[in-house]
Amino acid sequence: MCTVRGLVKTYPAARGRRGAPATPAVRASDGIDLDVVRGEVFGLLGPNGAGKSTLVRQLTGLLRPDEGRVRVLGHDLVRHPERAARLLGYLGQDSTALDELTVSLAAETTARLRGLDTRAARAERDAVIEELGLGELAGRPLKKLSGGQRRLACVAAALVGERPLLVLDEPTTGMDPVARRAVWAAVDRRRAERGVTVLLVTHNVIEAETVLDRVAVLDRGRVIACDTPTGLKALVADEVRLELVWRAEPPLDVPEVADLRKAAEAARSADGVTGRRWTLRLPPEAARAAIATVTGGPAFAALDDFTLATPSLEDVYIALGGRAEGAEGLVKA
């Protein structure tokens, strides 16, 4: 369906200008291999600057890779980037091109530009507006809508005109749960009825767990893991996450509690001690013992709340060595 081999893209170094320091060359794609199977919802997960959008822009023919191969449905998109527009529907992060149009005109114009004739374009427009529940907003310009509504209108524009592959760059940013559900229902329907494949860029780990068939975790231009969400979670299956919230000073004179604090303080970046909240990653046995300690005796009097959870994709991400904060830029070439 979609095969990527050895994809490399380096952004050249920029000279420093007044007020803007020089930036070194950045390897935004560093030998990426991917296989997306027909009919699956495939996710790209990673922090800001991990190279997700760069990868997607190369898959959609918007950016020419320095090296490597991109094949979509049997077409070589490195050699023929112009074919991408006839194979896939793309939802970018920006809506400037549509901002001043009304929702219905944005969908209709996009359908016309996807090669549909007037009648077909209007039919598609009406169908997608109905499907996404945009009826009441149809006559309003995108500019006047809230962020989530505008995003939904952009999704409508991306969905008009049949395409076997949909590439969606953070489609549900800013949406309320109703809109979110409408988007996933629309995507799912296209997959069930026409076998549409979806390539999804996302930040949202919870969403990733519920809608994705497979995930590639990107970090610094590399795929650091690629599996089903469940498969990825199995990588850290030997640990559970325990969160303790104290209402008062925790009784550190109890040796077990003192040990827990030490363990929390030694934890990796996203965990640890923040005020009266301790987050720990423990083997299930140790977690059970810890809970027995804090739910009895003097510790229980000081305990406000505790939660115990199986690993999320976020835990996987941290366990794989991705950066939790995403503070620094991409790795230098």
The reply to whether 267 sits near another protein by the rule CB under 8 A is no
Question: Residue written as tokens 């990796």?
Answer: 268
Site for another protein in 152-171 (CB under 8 A): 157, 161-164
> Coil, strand or helix: which one is 174?
coil
Site for another protein in 81-110 (CB under 8 A): 81-90, 92-98, 100-102, 105-106, 108-110
The reply to whether 74 sits near another protein by the rule CB under 8 A is yes
**Cα–Cα distance measured from residue 37 to residue 81, given in angstroms and rounded to the nearest whole number:** 21
Question: Which range binds another protein by CB under 8 A, 18-26, 111-119, 130-138, 186-194?
Answer: 111-119
The reply to whether 254 sits near another protein by the rule CB under 8 A is no
**Number of amino acids touching another protein (CB under 8 A):** 89
From residue 273 to residue 312, the character string flagging contacts with another protein as x (rule: CB under 8 A) and all else as - is: -----------x--xx--x---x----xx-xxxxxxxxx-
Q: Based on the number of CB atoms within 10 Å of its own CB, is 19 exposed (0-12), middle (13-18) or buried (19 or more)?
A: exposed
Q: Are strands 303-309 and 222-227 parallel, antiparallel or unpaired?
A: unpaired
Strand order in the sheet with 240-246: 272-274, 277-282, 240-246, 303-309
**Cα–Cα distance measured from residue 27 to residue 16, given in angstroms and rounded to the nearest whole number:** 19
Site for another protein in 113-152 (CB under 8 A): 113-115, 117-118, 141, 143
Judged by beta carbon, residue 141 or residue 323, the one nearer another protein is 141
Pair of tokens at residue 46: 């990673």
In whole angstroms, the minimum distance from the beta carbon of 163 to another protein comes to 7
Judged by beta carbon, residue 144 or residue 176, the one nearer another protein is 144
Site for another protein in 203-232 (CB under 8 A): 212-214, 226-231
The reply to whether 73 sits near another protein by the rule CB under 8 A is yes
Site for another protein in 24-63 (CB under 8 A): 33-40, 57, 60-63
The reply to whether 192 sits near another protein by the rule CB under 8 A is no
Sign of CA dihedral 111, 44, 213, 243: negative
Strand order in the sheet with 41-45: 88-91, 165-169, 197-202, 41-45, 214-219, 222-227
